[in-house]
Structure 1
Amino acid sequence: MRIKHYTLLVFFTFFADVSFSSEVRIAVASNFKPTLEKLSNAYTQSKLSISSASTGKLTSQISRGAPFDIFLSAGEVGTTLAPSFVVDDSEFTYAIGQLVLVTHEQNAKFEFDSPRELDCIAYANPAVAPYGRAAAEVIGHLEKVGVRIHKHVKGQSVAQAQQFFLSKACNWALIAQSQITITNKAHTHWLVPAKLYQPIRQNAVLLKRAHDNQHALQFFNYLNSDEAKHIIVEAGYLTEAQ
């Protein structure tokens, strides 16, 4: 009986290992999570395990040894994550984010070069979020042309900034174009002119723990496929080809 029990244990251990190795663990910036879920539905080769947070928080987790295979950042990874965690030359831009200004005010009008007053605006914290740094550039421009903002509310990510807006903690927000369909198309919004902020290059990297993981490599390559790019563009992003 001992031998049979041992054989059964080995059998289940083997398949547990196979199941684990076929799972691709992805750390994704919060703004891209809904789009990654769409990509996951379209991609059938492996199971994706998705963990979402702000880029700053995920960078910290990876630096402390969190077991991820792929990192989908909201910015450029090479400037924030030590090279020892990343497979050499794996970084590429999988999406380029766009900012929108959104408000609860019905029939509102807004000109990015005209003075006015805003009671409160929500956006991601520039210290930890790439979308926050872009928002800070836009706000700097608005203040130069005479826009007076009475209150600033900063989230740890652009997703949290969206939540501040949805909860009506602020009447205005600078969020990602990709969030508009989630937020509510009934809200008034304007695409922020690209000239007002540096491009939000959302970069992907293959992490060292996955350098020989074929399932991770296959999905990493899929992100650069025509099918994936179509899904990404449909979600409100630009890609390098545009």
Structure 2
Amino acid sequence: MKRLSLLLTALLVSGGALADEVQVAVAANFTGPIQVIANLFERDTGHKLVASYGATGKFYAQINNGAPFEVLLSADDETPARMIKEGSAVAGSNFTYAIGKLLLWSANPKVVDSKGEILKKGGFKHLALANPKGAPYGAAGMQTMTKLGVVDAIKPLIVQGENISQTHQFISTGAAELGFVAYSQVIKNGQIGSGSGWIVPANLYDPIRQDAVILAKGKDKPAAVALLNYLKGDKAKAVIKSFGYELP
């Protein structure tokens, strides 16, 4: 019994020694899901996920300037591919963890109609949009307005957010009557939780394929590898789907 007890103690100590933390740059639209997943990940693996949230374009610049991130959960698939090509991310580690949906949303339940006709009718003073140069959901919003033929009329009314979180804040506080956000930011129990919204048809913008990738600083780090494997598992997929994303 004493030998068994010593063996169990040794296993526990070695397991604790293997537990690590991983620094993750997370696209702002994925804030809700990763907070849920982080708790499950720590409980199931012992590893701790330390997340920072922001625009993918800004993370790209920060990582190139030496930021200590080990994993990137991008809002697109182009940035991880580019980083692999440039040598700042690990080749073969990238994969699509979620496919995002674009939503035209207002905190006012009477503003946005079910077909998005307000974009053509007008009558609003401000429309919030994440910076299309660094935020894929902002770029998708611009593509939508361009395809609908309303971009020139709406451009002077745009209030630009640094990322999708700030864009959501502009709308929720009334600084802008409406704007383009990620569906995941407002979904509750499988539908738009408050205000009014139009889920933009997927044929109006390029697919928002969100890729994960291990960065150079996370190469050969067990916690980084464990996180990407966990994102491919059933528990993480269930969380991702519950926030309105499509799964690849």
TM-score (norm 1): 0.83
Identity %: 35
2:102 to 99, 104, 108: 99
Match of 1:23 among 18, 21, 27: 21
Question: Which of the numbers 109, 115, 118 marks the counterpart of 1:111?
Answer: 115
Q: What residue identity is the alignment partner of 1:40?
A: A
**Contact 1:116/1:148 (<8 A) preserved:** no
Q: Which residue of 174, 177, 196 maps to 1:168? A: 174
Aligned to 2:208: 200
Cα deviation for residue 160 of structure 1 reads 1.0
Aligned to 1:70: 71
Q: Give the C-alpha shift of residue 107 in structure 1.
A: 3.4
**Alpha-carbon deviation of 1:143?**
3.1
148 and 32 in structure 1: CA distance in 2 versus 1, 3 angstrom threshold = closer
Distance in 1 separating the partners of 2:69 and 2:152: 45
Please name the residue that 2:140 is paired with.
134
In structure 1, C-alpha distance between the alignment counterparts of 2:231 and 2:98, rounded to whole Å: 10
Aligned length: 223
Shift of 1:110: 4.7
- Hey, what does 2:90 align to over in structure 1? 87
> 1:112 touches 1:142 (CA, 8 Å); kept in 2?
no
Q: Deviations over 1:36-77 (max 9, x none)?
A: 111011112111111111111111111112121111011122
Deviations 1:187-239 (A, max 9, x none): 01111111110101111101122221112111111111121111101011111
Contact 1:119/1:150 (CA < 8 Å) preserved in 2?
no
> Counterpart in 2 of 1:40?
38
TM-score by length of 2: 0.82
**What does residue 244 of structure 2 align with?**
236
Structure 1 residue runs of 5 or longer lacking an equivalent are 1-14
CA change 1:26–1:145 in 2 (3 A) is: closer
Unaligned runs of 5+ in 2: 1-13
How many angstroms does 1:105 deviate by? 3.6
How far apart are 1:106 and its partner, in Å? 3.2
Partners of 1:36 and 1:135 lie apart in 2 by 24
